């Protein structure tokens, strides 16, 4: 199971992201060609498309099972942001003539980095049994499971962003940097909202 980000890990990620941003800015100011994408950038895009796909599968279960209007609204917002991000990531890959499907090599890379779990090598992903349990639930039980599972899923996405920025030469291309930092910001905001919903009584 993916562990929540500590403040130290978050600070380290910020330093790595700022370093990538500084490199891109310096290149722009000197008129240099933007840094070329790295293999880890491709793996990140392909992996995040697959990661988002599972989140969208989870949000699709919400309308017919949730007992809470606030959870249904949250799911709509998660779905909207992730559909947009998937479209951007697919476009980035297609523009470069690259496959939009995740490759086995990225799973090996994440496993070596200690970021893998038991579902396809991507952190935070639900197992088939967990997806089945979510699909079978309804009402208050569904809402609890959905929030707990989605928090874990989002934390996995943060791990993927951290892995990208901690990989030498990765996250330097401006478009990659923007997409990865957008994912990071969106997931952090949604995690905070979901934790608040877990601790709040269900609206009457």
pLDDT at residue 65 greater than cutoff 70: yes
pLDDT at residue 30 greater than cutoff 50: no
Average pLDDT, the chain: 82
Mean pLDDT of 110-121: 45
Residue of 41 and 7 predicted with greater confidence: 41
Check if the beta carbon of residue 13 is closer than 8 Å to that of residue 184. Answer: yes
Lowest mean pLDDT across 24-33, 67-76, 128-137: 24-33
Q: pLDDT confidence of 32, banded at 50, 70, 90?
A: very low
pLDDT at residue 36 greater than cutoff 60: yes
Check if the beta carbon of residue 16 is closer than 8 Å to that of residue 165. Answer: yes
| Distance separating alpha carbons of residues 100 and 6, to the nearest angstrom | 32
| Distance separating alpha carbons of residues 73 and 85, to the nearest angstrom | 19
Q: pLDDT confidence of 11, banded at 50, 70, 90?
A: low
Asked if CATH classification 1.20.1260.10 holds for the domain at 51-94+114-199, the reply, yes or no, is yes
SS (H, E, C) 10-57: HHHHHHHHHHHHHHHHHHHHHCCCCCCCCHHHHHHHHHHHHHHHHHHH
Mean pLDDT of 160-183: 95
* In the chain, % of residues over pLDDT 90: 68
So what's the pLDDT on residue 111?
A: 40
Record the tokens describing residue 35, joined without a space.
């840094």
| Distance separating alpha carbons of residues 22 and 71, to the nearest angstrom | 38
pLDDT at residue 105 greater than cutoff 60: no
Q: Which residues contact 188 (CB under 8 A, 6 or more apart)?
A: 158
Whole-prediction pTM: 0.76
pLDDT at residue 8 greater than cutoff 70: no
């Amino acid at each position: 199971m993916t562990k929540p980000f500590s403040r130290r890990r978050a600070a380290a990620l910020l330093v790595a992201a700022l370093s990538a941003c500084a490199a891109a800015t310096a290149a722009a100011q000197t008129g240099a060609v933007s840094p070329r994408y790295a293999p880890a950038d491709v793996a990140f895009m392909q992996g995040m498309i697959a990661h988002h796909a599972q989140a969208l599968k989870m949000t699709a279960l919400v309308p017919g099972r949730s007992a809470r209007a606030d959870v249904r609204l949250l799911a709509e917002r998660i779905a909207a942001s992730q559909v947009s991000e998937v479209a951007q990531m697919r476009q980035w890959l297609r523009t470069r003539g690259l496959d939009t499907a995740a490759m086995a090599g990225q799973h090996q890379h994440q496993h070596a980095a200690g970021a893998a779990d038991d579902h396809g090598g991507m952190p935070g992903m639900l197992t088939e049994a967990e997806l089945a349990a979510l699909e079978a639930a309804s009402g208050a039980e569904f809402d609890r499971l959905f929030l707990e599972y989605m928090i874990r899923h989002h934390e996995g996405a943060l791990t993927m962003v951290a892995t990208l920025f901690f990989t030498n030469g990765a996250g330097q291309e401006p478009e990659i940097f923007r997409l990865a930092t957008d994912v990071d910001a969106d997931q952090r905001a949604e995690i905070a909202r979901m934790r608040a919903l877990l601790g709040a009584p269900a609206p009457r």
